[in-house]
Amino acid sequence: MVAEDGPGPLIGVLDLQGDVREHLSALHDVGRASRRVKLPADLAGLCGLVVPGGESTTLSMLLDSTGLFDAIEARLGAGSLPVLGTCAGLILVARQVLGGRADQRSFGVLDAVVRRNGYGRQAQSFEADLDLGPGEGAVLPAVFIRAPLIVSVGTGVEVLARLDGAPVLVRQGSVVASAFHPELTPDRRVHRLFADLCGAGE
């Protein structure tokens, strides 16, 4: 059902840990072929990359040990790889991470400060309906699981949705990030937005 290495420009899904299958299936739903990314060679020719949720500390370690951190950083630095970071993926794209491990790395391509587990112990997991603003249709159902809190964003960051005043869906150029898990609900607007940013590949 999930198109891997199918025809057309491929969108990669980082496959080290976390909810990979759900992202592959969400990309399929918006008509995009996808590829699992486990090694630097898997980045070849991709027109975009999804960094799923999971545990950002573990993901950071695995990115290092596979050589993927440097390979992805190089592609992001060259501006040739749109990226969607969800939950732990948001932490991995942010410029500054609060409450992380000292050796935890992030790509720093989103001008945002995020706090790991920023929604606190009382609300480690919850659901909320997000208002995307006038003309953007129905509310977007969103699942938050030990979600990072976006503490602040730079002026170049567009806030697409907020929850209790804090940004939870943001975009900076070809970087899209959410504090929640858009792959866990049937609403595909976040994946469609990202797919539209992904061009025809290298």
Q: Which residues are catalytic?
A: 87, 181, 183
Q: Which of 54, 85, 167, 182 binds ligand GLN (CB under 6 A)?
A: 54
Residues 72, 42 contacting (CB under 8 angstroms): no
Q: Counting contacts by CB under 6 A, is residue 182 touching ligand GLN?
A: no
Which CB, 43 or 87, lies closer to ligand GLN?
Answer: 87
Minimum CB–partner distance for residue 7 and ligand GLN (Å): 31
- Report the residue closest to ligand GLN, judged by CB: 53
Which positions from 102 to 121 touch ligand GLN by CB under 6 A, shown as an x/- string?
--------------xx----
Question: How would DSSP label each residue in the chain?
Answer: ---BS-SSS-EEEE-SSSSHHHHHHHHHHTT--EEEE-SGGGGTT-SEEEE--S-HHHHHHHHHHHTHHHHHHHHHHTT---EEEETHHHHHHEEEEESS-TT------EEEEEETTTTTTTTSEEEEEEP--TTS-SPEEEEEESPPEEEEE-TT-EEEEEETTEEEEEEETTEEEESS-GGGSS--HHHHHHHHH--S--
Q: Counting contacts by CB under 6 A, is residue 87 touching ligand GLN?
A: yes
Of the ranges 21-29, 87-95, 156-164, 191-199, which one interacts with ligand GLN (CB under 6 A)? 87-95
Q: Which of 21, 28, 38, 146 binds ligand GLN (CB under 6 A)?
A: 146
Q: Counting contacts by CB under 6 A, is residue 11 touching ligand GLN?
A: no
Minimum CB–partner distance for residue 80 and ligand GLN (Å): 26
| Residues found near ligand GLN in the complex (CB under 6 A) | 53-56, 87-88, 91, 116-117, 145-146
